[in-house]
Structure 1
């Protein structure tokens, strides 16, 4: 029984040392750089970041049908409707502009 307690005590000491080492390494490393696409409050789903990335590379307006394949989604009615709903949400927050029904673009500065 005392041998097992001694082993557990050694393991606890090793864990304490490992924790201390990891904490010191975490403090020494700077925070990772933010990704190029801006992080938007309330738009944490990766699809929103993909949409903004595609719009950043596009030279004009896009429809949901254009975005679905660029995001790796199938061209099914459900897939297109999911993208359209996200585009409408971004437009309602004025992150994108719906220039005509179903056609979206980034606002000009």
Structure 2
């Protein structure tokens, strides 16, 4: 028994409902895919930045290795030792390249070999040694520090 009010479902409505459901499912997939693309795009940007930093580091290292070491300026006196006597002492050490005693240094500097002059040279050598500019390898024997 069927009632007169019960009608069979409309095939057009049924198809429209199916189309709506399919559209909603695809829209959801689009949103998920777009979120994944955004995440991957951000990650790609981070990786690209890291690669660029490595390239810059490589260029910097190559340019530094091509320049070679910066030559030291032996003529420049250390800070606080700009008096001509200190400059002369350092020049004699640079020329000899070895160890010297106060008497040998006074002789190389053409100073009189009086006890007072030798003692003044020794005091300057001790001052240079206390600042690390010279090294006293044994009592009274001074040399330049080795790098």
Q: Which TM-score band (shorter chain)?
A: 0.5 to 0.7
**Uncovered stretches (5+) of structure 1, i.e. residues with no partner:** 1-34
How many positions carry a matched residue from both structures?
75
Alignment of 1:1-109 (within 5 A): 36-109=74-147
* Large movers: runs of 4+ above 3 Å: none
Shift of 1:59: 3.2
User: RMSD value over aligned CA atoms?
Assistant: 1.4
- TM-score normalised by L of structure 2: 0.49
2:102·2:125 contact (CA, 8 Å) conserved in 1?
yes
Shift of 1:64: 0.4
**CA–CA separation in structure 2 for the residues paired with 1:58 and 1:97:** 15
**Uncovered stretches (5+) of structure 2, i.e. residues with no partner:** 1-72
2:97·2:144 contact (CA, 8 Å) conserved in 1?
no
> Looking at both structures, which has the greater relative contact order when contacts are Cα pairs under 8 Å and sequence separation is at least 6?
1
1:47·1:71 contact (CA, 8 Å) conserved in 2?
no
2:101·2:142 contact (CA, 8 Å) conserved in 1?
yes
